[in-house]
Amino acid sequence: MPDNSTSGARGDVAYSDDRMPVGLIFAGITTVFAVIFILQNLTDVKTQFLLVSVTVPLAVVIVVSMGLGAVVGWFVGLMMRRRKRNNAKAS
């Protein structure tokens, strides 16, 4: 039987090619819960930000908030990786 294991991103974790990554399973479960939560919160809410006031379904507010959070998280991670790389070059 051939060995289908490969090294992980850090080289210290081995996994089999025929297994689903844990992160993918977690993302799928999170997505299912998010969809259920959104479908249960379709009532209109008045949202105010600075001088703008809009009435939209709560689901829209949730999805926009999740998207903005993902973008901010990605950007912070990018800045941390860049700072770490620059500090390593300076040393």
Confidence of residue 23 (pLDDT cuts 50, 70, 90): confident
pLDDT above 80 (res 31): yes
**What is the pLDDT, as a whole number, of residue 17?**
64
The residue ranges of every structural domain in the chain are: 5-90
Pairwise CA distance, residues 70 & 83, whole Å: 20
Q: Model-level pTM?
A: 0.53
Q: Which of 27-31, 53-57, 62-66 has the lowest mean pLDDT?
A: 62-66
Pairwise CA distance, residues 61 & 5, whole Å: 43
Mean of pLDDT values over 18-28: 84
Both structure tokens of 44: 């209109």
Mean of pLDDT values over 24-49: 89
CA-nearest of 42, 80, 76 to 61 is 42
